[in-house]
Structure 1
Amino acid sequence: MTATAPSDVRPGPHGTEQDDSAALAGFGYRQELHRSMGRYASFAAGFSFISVLTTVFQFFAFGFSFGGAAFFWTWPAVLVGQLLVAACFAELAARYPLSGAIYQWSTRLSTPGFGWFAGWIMVIGQVVVVAAAALALQVVLPAIWSGFQLVGGDPAPTTPTGAANAAVLAVVLLALTTGVNLLDNRVMSAVNRIGVTAEIIGAALIVVLLLTHSERGAGVTLHTGGQGGAIGALLVGSFTAAYVLIGFDSAGELSEETHAPRRTAPRTILLALASAGALGGLLLLGGILAAPSLTDGRLATEGLSYVLTSSLGDGVGKALLADVVVAIAVATLAIQTAGSRMLFSMARDGVLPFSSRLAKVSPRTGMPAAPSLAVGIAAAALGLLNLASPEAFLAIGTTCIAMLYLAYAMVTGPMLVRRLRGDWDRSAAEPDETGRPLFSLGRWGLPINIVALAYGLFMTVNLAWPRASVYDPSGGHWYFQWFTVLFLIVSVGLGAVWRWRNTRRVHAATPAQPLPELAQPSTTP
């Protein structure tokens, strides 16, 4: 179905499911996805995508190896920048409660073509994030039991045997998460809620135990001790925080499955990021303070898994690592769900290859099966790149966050243009489902938007910069050094070729008709 510009349809003061469906109809869409998620489920969607246990355990060693203990300070810096982006997204979630959030928001703020590329970059980035999250199992499973090292040899993810085993474990996990995504959105939501609850409890327990087993004072975080100069080391060390603190927009991705989304999604977007940011920062600090040694090299290669098993003992440490495994599985599920909703949202507008198949929703389950399968299969294929070389792990991880940061900037950029034109805040007084004003940044909107865009562009360049010491430390693999840049160019290039060919095909079929795309946004958001 082709969407229209948003109308003035708003749900009534009680925010019933019929009201939510009527509001969705105002955007030109039928209610096909089952609307069964409440506030906690919406929060869980954003929190599980961020998944502090998954990503902090996955990238702690990398951040420490480059920035030393001082890489801790990159965390609050990135968190503040991302909170500014999340604040902009919260405004958009209130005004456009639609699946495929980044694509829908960018399209309605700018042009159909620009929005299409934002969605295209975002969905590819999400697929890569799914692969990277599944590969994180290698960081914890062999540390729990050596039998999980199915390939044999060194389990470190940076070794050939560790990288190969990571690919095997990732494919198994992706098969499981794809199965859950095909069942029912209530099953998916229940698994997500249970997993997030376990992750929050586990993360809080790990923080308490690490801080009570401190070996040194917090002053150690003032010393880099990493590779290269202090500034360069911290720029690379910020990759850890940059990779962790993404995906908070997932609460907006699932708006069409959430009750009273105009009221719920803006708050759960901010809450998911803020709570994950606080927990993640404490995990970093606790790991640095409780590590048996900062100089024996193990913290820079084994990360937090080494700290838990060394400081807390094998029994307690492995029990907590089991909770990390749950977090990794739930994160993979949540990210795959978000990616499938993006594919579905674009496909129902007829702007993707195989749109008719990708846009189908099962009336029984309320799930778009084809997008879930597509994301799972594509992520598994990317995970198998780890068989080629250990450097693929870092290349995949950095590529996905660079693409997501770029997609975010393709929303905050047009949003800033709308603010500067003076046609953004006119709808601030419109009510949400409870009859209260929509979430709004008010007079702080312009400065927050400016800094959010500048921060997003800076981090995109920082992540994609082809540093040989980061992406090809052993030398001889120039394609890994340039992997992120090349992947972006190829992704955008393939998208441009498909759009050009599709445009020609449509014009040839109906030369007197314009290409059926999303209508331009109205002057009043």
Structure 2
Amino acid sequence: MTATEPDGPPPEPRPDGAHDDDSLTELGYRPELERTLGNFHTFAAGISYISLLTGTFQLFYFGVAHGGPAYWWSWPMVFTGQLMVALCFAELAGRYPVAGSVYNWSKLLGGPHVGWLGGWMMMTASMVSPAAVALAYQVTLEQVSAWFQVIGDGSTGTERAANAVLLGSVLVLFTTLVNGFGVKLMARINSAGVAIELIATVVLILLLAANITRGPSVALDTLGRGQGESLGYLGAFLTASLASAYVSLASAYVMYGFDTASSLGEESLDPGRNAPRAILRALVASFALGGLILLFFAYLMVTLPMLVRRLRSQWRPAEGRFSLGRLGLTVNALAVLWGTAMTVNLAWPRAQVYNATGPQHWYLRWGAVLFVGAIALGGFTSYWFVQRARTGVLAEHAAATAP
């Protein structure tokens, strides 16, 4: 053997997705799902969950009512904070592109206790958010056509509420059936819808720009909001900028759900590379388009354990995939600070948010704390007394162990 000859035969190229399958094996799962979704499919999944036009138009009134047109500045603020979280998620998606992203990531980083609680809270948010959006269609569809007012004529609050439940139930049933037929049909319908939404958004921006009636100074107009409050306009601004899991509020609610792109990792082509890009693209697109329109939760269970891992030098991103490098610790710390600040801002017992009309009740003001606390306590109680011994991977889904 000469010095130029190799020591053995060159390694055979691994099939597509083999590296991503290795990451599933590391989590204890056997790869079972078919990888069929491409780049736009995963990007569209994140965009559709963020629901740009839905959130912008349904919640615009809330931001303006509490902060005036100047509340627009909460949009870049929320984007910056959510970007810190998205960067952490992108790094995780590059190494572990797995279904049930938040649950599996929190379980890997924080252990089974944190994983169960993170998954429980994410499941609750995933049930509440679509239902709330579906109910809110009553506000829009009735303005499109009176035909959508099926129950009564909408002259009373009871009729409008009942009609909203009916319309929302039909929408939830339809989307459930679509998902039941498989990911391919869902991806086609979702991608077509997102493409239409993006085109419509750009057209809307151009139409709004062509019919501008106010100058740029309108973005500095507070309409006198915050007068008489202890925090002045800062209090009004923070109220206007509220957030992700609470479906009656503004900016950050729109930029929530970008982890969906990674949840489809086991069904995507080359997810270790595509999922991080899809997460960031979905967030950036929503920021840019939604911000132009305006101008013209559970995540802590992932970012906090991830920060602890970084501080203990126990976190290593996947080689050759998306990595924050030396900025990882700083970005991760900012993501935790942002998540904590927004949690406090969301749960703050404001009368104008949780008890806007009289009579005043303390349990309504503290509704967010009481509701989330009850859900968390119920989930952890169920885990501790019932599910704690069942947290392992089911045998039929477990990865094969080496001899």
Q: Tell me the TM-score normalised to structure 1 length.
A: 0.67
Match of 1:499 in 2: 383
CA deviation profile, 1:116-174 (whole Å, cap 9, x unmatched): 10111111011111111212312321111122122345589xx5443332222111101
By how many angstroms is 1:227 displaced? 4.1
Q: How does 1:8-407 map to 2 (within 5 A)?
A: 16-17=16-17, 20-21=20-21, 23-154=23-154, 159-225=157-223, 227-228=225-226, 229-239=232-242, 240-286=250-296, 404=297, 407=298
Deviations along 1:482-508, whole A, 9 cap, x unmatched?
32212111111211221222168x5xx
Contact 1:112 1:517 in 2 (8 A): no
Cα distance in structure 2, aligned partners of 1:503 and 1:152? 46
**Which aligned pairs between 1:376-455 and structure 2 lie closer than 5 A?**
404=297, 407-425=298-316, 427-428=317-318, 430=319, 437-455=320-338
Query: Could you say if the C-alpha distance between residues 154 and 222 of structure 1 is closer, same or farther in structure 2, counting changes exceeding 3 Å?
Result: farther
Gaps in structure 2 of 5+ consecutive residues: 1-11, 227-231, 243-249, 394-403
User: Residue 112 of structure 2 contacts residue 391 of structure 2 at CA under 8 Å; is this kept in 1?
Assistant: no
Match of 1:5 in 2: none
Tell me the residue number matched to 2:358: 475
Where relative contact order (Cα < 8 A, 6+ residues apart) is larger, the structure is 2
> How many residues end up aligned between the 2 structures?
369
Counterpart of 1:237 in structure 2: which amino acid? Answer: A
Contact in 2 for aligned 1:142/1:155 (Cα 8 Å): no
Deviations, residues 70-119 of structure 1 (Å, cap 9, x unaligned)? 11110010011101110010000011111111111111111111111011
Q: CA deviation at 1:257?
A: 0.8
- Alpha-carbon distance, 1:32 to partner: 3.0
The aligned counterpart of 2:345 is 462
Distance 1:421 1:26 in 2: 20
Q: Residue 105 of structure 1 contacts residue 411 of structure 1 at CA under 8 Å; is this kept in 2?
A: yes
Equivalent-residue separation in structure 1 for 2:223 and 2:329 (angstroms): 39
Give yes or no for contact 2:134–2:167 (8 Å, CA) kept in 1. Answer: yes
Amino acid corresponding to residue 348 of structure 2 in structure 1: W
CA contact under 8 A between 2:78 and 2:252: conserved in structure 1?
yes
> Amino acid of the residue matched to residue 486 of structure 1?
L
Cα deviation per residue 1:222-258 (whole Å; 9 max; x = unaligned)?
Answer: 1111643311111111021111000001001111111
Distance 1:419 1:91 in 2: 13
Q: Secondary structure at the match of 1:136?
A: helix
In structure 2, what is the Cα distance between the partners aligned to 1:20 and 1:89?
A: 16
- What residue identity is the alignment partner of 1:409? L
Q: 1:217 to 1:154 in 2, by over 3 A?
A: farther
Range with greater deviation from structure 2 (135-144 or 410-419): 135-144
Q: Deviations over 1:396-425 (max 9, x none)?
A: xxxxxxxx2xx1111111111111112224
Query: Relative to structure 1, is the Cα distance of residues 224 and 155 closer, same or farther in structure 2, using a 3 angstrom cutoff?
Result: farther
CA contact (8 A) 2:24 2:96 kept: no
The 1-side partners of 2:13 and 2:333 are apart by 34
Cα shift at 1:517: 3.7
Quote the offset at 1:219 in angstroms. Answer: 0.4
* Distance (whole Å) between structure 1 residues aligned to residue 376 and residue 166 of structure 2: 29
Unaligned runs of 5+ in 1: 1-11, 287-403, 431-436, 507-514, 519-525
Report deviation, 1:65. 0.6
- Note if contact 1:149-1:155 (Cα within 8 Å) is conserved in structure 2: no
CA distance in 1, matches of 2:140, 2:13: 48
Q: What TM-score do you get using the length of structure 2 for normalisation?
A: 0.86
Compute the RMSD of aligned alpha carbons: 2.0
